[in-house]
Amino acid sequence: MTVNCRCSNPLIPLLFSVILTVVPLQARSQRTVWSLPDYNETVRTWSVAFGNAFARDTYLSASSYDGWALGFENDSWTGYRPYRLFKYGRFHSNLLFSPMKNRLGGGSTMELAGSEHAAFLWPAVKSSMCDLLIGPAILMDLGVLYNQQNSNNPVTLEGYLGTGFCVDNTFRFSLFRYDMALQATLYLPLAGIGFAPDYDQPYWYMYKYSEYGKAIHLIWPFNNIALTHQIALVLPIRGDRLRIGYTFDYTNNSLGGHKRSVGNNMFTLGYTIIFQTKEWGR
């Protein structure tokens, strides 16, 4: 037996934190670097993402797989009416593809995954230098794992729809007179429904006889640990904003009796645009 760790190293954000406390930073209130959107305004970042993905699903195989991954991320903040409790909407969606290999030997599998997160946030701390937003979130994750070597169970579907919360933390500062912003976001599902075959329930039978009942499971953190964590640095360059980030997406569950552990570590490079949206109606 052996123990394997494929997860992202949580020391990376810690390193960011240490740099922030050690390096002589000066907090700035530069709206040109980054600011929360006003009402009817959306700050949107489109990013390409590259990194690695890993998966283990004992419905398909006893082994673990990993490989490079390529993806796309859409990240946005929207301002709501000022009198509302939740003054900001935070939306994150991504799509990734990863061809993976058995980590120990032959065999290969492929993953196509996507997620959509929508959070409604209340400003717990809001100042010229630091914005801390928290609020409820709706989270949807969907992925398809394909094992090329299997016969009647080549594909499995991973997915959940849940509610949870989101924490969004932005810090504006300058380093060597260069203004920038560091952002961290965490999405954490707490309860919802997840899809997984009832142990060895064949997809063929689900399709042919429309027997899905036991494939839908209630999820909570004790049977479905999932999270999406983002850290990003916003760099203003001649009036434009580049956003360089790292996203860790992870789901670990044992729904239906099989063990599933899928995730990815992605580095993102994105371009940020502020949109003014027209008000509908009168």
Partner 1 sequence: MNRSFLHTVSFVGALLLMMIPVSCAWDQEKKDQEYANTPQGNFMALWTIMDERYCFFDLKKERLGVDWDEVKHRYSASISDNISDKALFEVFCKMIGELRDGHVNLTSVYDYGRNWSWKTDYPANFSKDLQDRYLGNDYVIGGNGYYYRVLDDNIGYLVVGSFESGTSSGRMNVMFNNMALCNGLIIDIRDNGGGDLTAAEFLASHFTEKKVTVGYYCYKTGPGHNDFSRLYKNELSPAKEDLRWIKPVVVLTNRGCFSSANDFAYTMKALDNVTLLGDTTGGGGGLPMSSELPNGWVVRFSSAPTFDADTNHVEFGIAPDIRVDMLEEDIQVGVDTYIERARKYINDKIVNP
**Does 127 contact partner 1 by CB under 8 A?**
yes
- Give the CA distances from residue 138 to residues 40, 190, 195, in Å, rounded to whole numbers and listed in that order: 21, 10, 16
Residue from 178, 204, 220, 275 that binds partner 1 (CB under 8 A)?
204
Q: Which stretch binds partner 1 (CB under 8 A): 75-83, 200-208, 238-246, 266-274?
A: 200-208
**Does 84 contact partner 1 by CB under 8 A?**
no
Contacts of 231 (CB under 8 A, 6+ apart): 12, 13, 16, 182, 183, 184, 245, 246
Burial of 106 by CB count in 10 Å (0-12 exposed, 13-18 middle, 19+ buried)? Answer: exposed
Nearest to 42 by CA among 106, 111, 88, 97: 88
Q: How far is the CB of 16 from partner 1 (least distance, A)?
A: 7
Confirm if 86 and 121 have CB atoms less than 8 A apart: yes
**Does 234 contact partner 1 by CB under 8 A?**
no
Residue from 15, 32, 200, 274 that binds partner 1 (CB under 8 A)?
200
**Does 125 contact partner 1 by CB under 8 A?**
yes
Confirm if 95 and 48 have CB atoms less than 8 A apart: no
Nearer to partner 1, 48 or 190 (CB): 190
Burial of 9 by CB count in 10 Å (0-12 exposed, 13-18 middle, 19+ buried)? Answer: exposed
Query: Using alpha carbons only, what angle is made at residue 224 by residues 188 and 149, rounded to the nearest 5 degrees?
Result: 120
Query: How many residues appear in the chain?
Result: 282
Which residues in the 63-82 window bind partner 1 by CB under 8 A? 63-64
Confirm if 133 and 120 have CB atoms less than 8 A apart: no
**Does 257 contact partner 1 by CB under 8 A?**
yes
Cα–Cα distance between 151 and 259 in angstroms, integer?
Answer: 20
**Does 53 contact partner 1 by CB under 8 A?**
no
Cα–Cα distance between 105 and 65 in angstroms, integer?
Answer: 10
Nearer to partner 1, 112 or 257 (CB): 257
Residue from 14, 15, 112, 273 that binds partner 1 (CB under 8 A)?
14
Cα–Cα distance between 115 and 158 in angstroms, integer?
Answer: 11
List the structure tokens of 186.
């965490």
Nearer to partner 1, 24 or 82 (CB): 24
Confirm if 135 and 119 have CB atoms less than 8 A apart: yes
Q: Which stretch binds partner 1 (CB under 8 A): 70-78, 79-87, 163-171, 267-275?
A: 163-171
How many residues lie near partner 1 (CB under 8 A)?
69
Confirm if 53 and 98 have CB atoms less than 8 A apart: yes
Nearer to partner 1, 56 or 117 (CB): 56
Q: Which stretch binds partner 1 (CB under 8 A): 31-39, 91-99, 143-151, 264-272?
A: 143-151
**Does 250 contact partner 1 by CB under 8 A?**
yes
Residue from 82, 83, 151, 281 that binds partner 1 (CB under 8 A)?
151
| Residues found near partner 1 in the complex (CB under 8 A) | 1-10, 13-14, 16-17, 20-21, 25-27, 56, 58, 60-64, 102, 104-107, 125, 127, 129-130, 132, 147, 149-153, 167, 169, 171, 173, 182, 184, 186, 188, 198-202, 204-205, 209, 211, 214, 225, 227, 229, 248, 250, 252, 257, 259, 261
